[in-house]
Amino acid sequence: MNSKNEILQNLNTIGERIRNACEKAGRSPEEVKLLLAVKTVTPEKIITAVEAGFPIIGENKVQEIKAKYEALEETPHETHFIGHLQTNKIKEILRYGVDCIQTVDRLKLAEKLQRRLEFEDKTMDVLIQVNTSGEESKFGVSPAHAIPFLKEVVAFDRIFIRGFMTIGLFSAEWEKVRLCFRLLREIRDEAAGLNLPRTDLKELSMGMSGDLEIAIEEGATMIRVGTAVFGERMYPDSYYWPDKG
Ligand SMILES: *Cc1c(COP(=O)(O)O)cnc(C)c1O
């Protein structure tokens, strides 16, 4: 079987998994968007999946966005940034037309983003990344600081906060994984109740190839799936999720 057919078949399987999870949770599958996590994936394969009806792609590294930019230019899609963002990469994020930064997790980043957006007379959609698993190695604001941080970021009028993102605990103990996702939803619900200006906090980006069902049961509006669509990656995830150091 060629890889194009494999990708299409994988997308069908994920569609089924989404529908089953939604049914179990009493939700409509239309409430759950599939973001294609495309780190290391070639433009050709990305185009296959995008043209199959999944127009949101997520990249972890600015240099990959840059490298694939021309090849993807003719294929309408939305690019979300889902990796750790260094402030010196903000200019390029804007230059290459990123539509949403899902990993805003510190004030300095928000400040510099605001300043650059003002300079270029642009706006940006963002999600706030929360470290719900408490793992030392993961980025994201701590759950306790999520709301205070949100209130600070709201002051930046070029930044539109659309919700929250998390990476669940990597564990086969599903109840612990579930608690991560539940925590993110609770933070979102509390935040939505504050009725802050310029925010629309409905997005919950959570769940990946291995735990998307649990995330959907806990309210995910966007799942981020890589290996279950495109197969195993050549690089270990530590390449993309470097230690905070
Ligand atoms: C790679 C990645 C995913 C997808 O992971 P898979 O296990 O391949 O589905 C989701 N979110 C982020 C932030 C990622 O870097």
In this structure, the number of other CB atoms found within 10 A of the CB of residue 236 comes to: 8
Q: How many alpha carbons lie under 13 Å from residue 204 in its C-beta half-sphere?
A: 27
DSSP 197: T
Residues lining ligand 1, CB < 6 A? 37, 39, 60, 82, 167, 208-210, 224-228, 240
For all residues of the chain together, what is the average pLDDT? 95
* Number of the ligand 1 atom closest to the C-alpha atom of 228: 9
- Work out the angle between the directed axes of helices 43-51 and 62-72 (0-180°, nearest 10): 70
pTM: 0.95
pLDDT tens track for 80-108: 999 999 999 999 999 999 999 999 999 99
pLDDT at position 245 is 45
